[in-house]
Amino acid sequence: MSGSEKLNRVVELLDQRGLDGLIIYSSGATMGPKYLYYFSEVKPLGTHNAAVVTKAGDVTLLVQPQWDTLRVSEKGWIKNIIGSSNFLKDLDDVLLKSKITGSMGIVDSTAIPADVYSVIADRAKVELADDLIEKVALERVSEEIELARKTAKIADTGFKACLENVRVGIREWEILAEIEYAMRSAGADDCFNLMSSGKHNHAGHAPRERKLREGDILIFEISAICGLYIQLCRTVVLGEPSKIVLEKYALLVQALEESLKEIRPGSPSALIAKAQNRVLSAAGYGEYCRPPYMAKRGHFSNIVYHAPDRNLDEHVKTILTSGQVVIVHPNQYIPETGYLMCGETILVTDTGFERLSETEAKVYVKEV
């Protein structure tokens, strides 16, 4: 959505919720929700930033550091920008001038420190409203769909860098550094990558000092971020893979393909998880399709990486609509092979779906 479209939708939702205003906060943390980034279209730098929106549609953006106002004004759409050197005082002044005395929604609530919360609570009744921006972000338009396609290509670029650089003796953190460098060079604003290496993996994790060895199975969760998450999950073997790895990975690919058949507007998103679990259960792995081995079968690409109601499992109530971006991953722990990763990002279209990744779903083999 354009800035004006986002603002109009926020004002509409404020009216529906009976809120007099909204504060979209950011602590500048690199991980976690990107609410303010999504709304303002500018990545915050400092430790305190906030957009204050009134029910009349007036928007004020407070940014730190104070000198960052020029960059923000050039990159974003919000015109009323205040560079703050005293965030608490400036926020209180904005709230006073906005004449918000009823209910105020707060977004990115878990990141708001106590002193900031107190300033808001002294001026208005506080209500949690993270879901309000989530609702806006689910409604993708053509501009954002093109961004999703572009970001998917960046994730593909990251995996290509993985295949080019992975080798015996390289450390886990070194290969992830190569992946991140490639994605940032291709235009990613941020990255979130996990991996694991060994003969029998249990889950993806942050990179370690471990050096890769011949025969290792490498699992990668590669996420490129350009305001929204686009994810690619793939498996690589260093050296000749065993027949059992190829056989079990083919099962994951089958689960992926079957679940994609359930993707179309109006279809319950729970059917994606049910299709994957059906394939794996039929192969004898039903007990491994639930915790502690497996929690979800994917998630919507949104501002929050893993919002509980945006995960793909058999119980989620979300109905698929055209324009939604969904990450589908039948990643699975299998006792004979360990954890294997297979997944990618899918666009829901008017007639079905579009695979955004150009990276084939298969076991990738790196000769040693």
CA distance 266 to 247: 34
**What radius of gyration do the chain's Cα atoms show?**
22
CA distance 52 to 60: 5
Sites in the chain below the pLDDT cut of 50 = 305-308
**E strand spans, 21-89:** 21-26, 49-54, 59-63, 81-83
DSSP assignments along 206-232, one per residue: S--SPBP-TT-EEEEEEEEESSSEEEE
**E strand spans, 199-312:** 217-225, 229-238, 298-300
What is the model's pTM? 0.79
Q: Order the strands of the 353-355 sheet from edge to edge.
A: 298-300, 325-328, 344-348, 353-355
CA distance 45 to 24: 15
Domain boundaries, the chain: 3-138, 142-366
pLDDT tens digits for range 88-126: 999 999 999 988 888 999 998 888 999 999 999 999 999
CA distances from 135 to 10, 13, 132, 155, 277 (A): 9, 9, 5, 25, 28
Helix axes 87-98, 114-123, angle to 10 degrees: 20
Supply the pLDDT for residue 279: 98
pLDDT tens digits for range 195-210: 999 999 999 999 999 9
CA nearest 345: which of 265, 225, 207?
225
> Do 343 and 331 contact (CB within 8 A), yes or no?
yes
> Do 245 and 199 contact (CB within 8 A), yes or no?
no
Peptide bond into 65 cis (omega under 30): yes
Supply the pLDDT for residue 139: 66
Q: What share of the chain is helix, strand, coil (3-state, %, to 5)?
A: 40, 25, 40
Pick the CATH number of 142-366 from 3.40.50.720, 3.90.230.10, 3.40.640.10, 2.40.10.220: 3.90.230.10
**According to CATH, what is the number of the domain 3-138?**
3.40.350.10
> Do 337 and 245 contact (CB within 8 A), yes or no?
yes
The dihedral formed by the CA atoms of 298, 304, 307 and 312, expressed in degrees to the nearest 10: -20
Both tokens assigned to 260 = 């994609």
CA distance 356 to 347: 7
Sign of the four-CA dihedral 108, 110, 111, 112: positive
